[in-house]
Structure 1
Amino acid sequence: MSAQPLPPIRRLVTGHDTQGNAIVWKDEEIKASQAEHGPFLTRIWSSSELPPDVNTTDDLGLVDTGLANKGTICRIVDFPPKSVGMVHRSITLDYIYVLEGEVTLTLDDGSKTKVGKGNIVVQQGTMHGWDNETSNWARLLCVLISAKAPVVAGEELNAEVPFQI
């Protein structure tokens, strides 16, 4: 699949003028690029630390963060019809909001949960994957925040990412 069938995202970024007044710094359409493992990703914004520095004059939507970083990431992820994701873990707290379509949240315990338009998943450093079992595209808004590693039975769990983005 060479083209993204869902429309590009309009991204507005605010900032300040020299008098300290709020301004719209960027107002543009941004397009997705296809990730190595299948879905299309639209980078919205990121920060490399917590708390984020809001004094930057760099376009932090252009930063290649990989799956996760030590700050925050906001991206749109578009899943093609009949696609199967890879189960993975990032050491992040994720807020995943389904904007369009339906996906299946797959966990390493074998469970599969349908998540539809308007639903939100709070993902807390678990092994998970996203499948699109439908004939339609699905679009998710994903906000990832660097987190402390989960600890189970006294053992700290590590990131497990079998793909590149």
Structure 2
Amino acid sequence: MSDLLTNPVPNLPPNKRYIATHDGSGKSIIHSSPPQLYTPMGPNGLARSYATPTMPAHLTNNVDVTSYLSSSSSSPTTHTTPTIVTPTPSGSNLLIVDLAPGGMSHMHRTVTLDYSICVIGRIKMEMDGGAFVELGPGDHVIQRGTMHKWYNASQTEPARLIGVILPCEPFEIPGTGKLLTEEHLST
């Protein structure tokens, strides 16, 4: 856990996360609010704020919370490179992406349906087809297995993106004859 940070990008407020559940009498309560842990990505940070191992999620006896807390207490699930957090393939994922001024992600695609929402700053998204969009707070992108890269549009202020990542069925990418697979490009 020594490589995980609670706030990798200066000047961004830390995230507060509260996990709600039920007590033994059926009343709604806060189960826990563990600190948000980020995997550093250069000057940026990526945190899996929550994940379920399956969809639909199994909430009985807090099995989802137990699964998440046991996997996040040691380290997020990582791909072959320690800076890539791979979504739980058959479950749901809530990711927090903090971008330092001028920061960027790598070009990537996953076998998922992603709801990506800018909450702080201005974020640009580049697609492998050359399209760019710029997001301000509240603006969002629905990623449907597409190749994309995130940029902080500011050279002086940090930015934050929230992503809800859900599994999707692989499909043939139009015009390629290739089935959708997870890809991470180095540049």
Aligned in 2, Cα 1:12/1:40: closer, same or farther, shift over 3 Å? same
Point out the structure with the larger strand share: 1
Q: How does 1:94-105 map to 2 (within 5 A)?
A: 94-105=114-125
Q: Mind listing any 5+ residue stretches in structure 2 that lack a counterpart?
A: 1-6, 78-84
1:12 alignment counterpart: 18
The answer as to whether partners of 1:32 and 1:40 remain within 8 angstroms in 2 is no
The structural deviation recorded for 1:4 is 2.6
Displacement over 4 Å in runs of 4+:
none
The answer as to whether partners of 1:4 and 1:32 remain within 8 angstroms in 2 is no
1:148 alignment counterpart: 169
Q: Bigger CA drift: 154-163 or 86-95? A: 154-163
Q: Mind listing any 5+ residue stretches in structure 1 that lack a counterpart?
A: none
Q: 2:55 aligns with which of 27, 42, 50?
A: 50
Indicate the RMSD between aligned Cα atoms, in angstroms: 2.1
Q: Bigger CA drift: 107-116 or 62-71? A: 62-71
Q: Bigger CA drift: 62-71 or 105-114? A: 62-71
**Counterparts of 2:131 and 2:20, CA distance in 1:** 41
Q: Number of aligned residue pairs: give it.
A: 161
**Counterparts of 2:147 and 2:113, CA distance in 1:** 12
Structure 1 residue 128 corresponds to structure 2 residue 178 = no
Percent identical residues: 27
The structural deviation recorded for 1:34 is 3.9
SS in 2 for 1:58: helix
Which digits, 9 at most, give the CA deviation of each residue in 1:112-154, with x for residues without a partner? 1111111011111000010113121110111100111232245
**Counterparts of 1:36 and 1:49, CA distance in 2:** 27
TM-score by length of 2: 0.77
The structural deviation recorded for 1:35 is 3.0
Q: How does 1:22-61 map to 2 (within 5 A)?
A: 22-28=28-34, 30-36=35-41, 38-55=43-60, 56=63, 57-58=65-66, 60=68
TM-score by length of 1: 0.86
Aligned partner of 2:33: which letter? D
SS in 1 for 2:18: strand
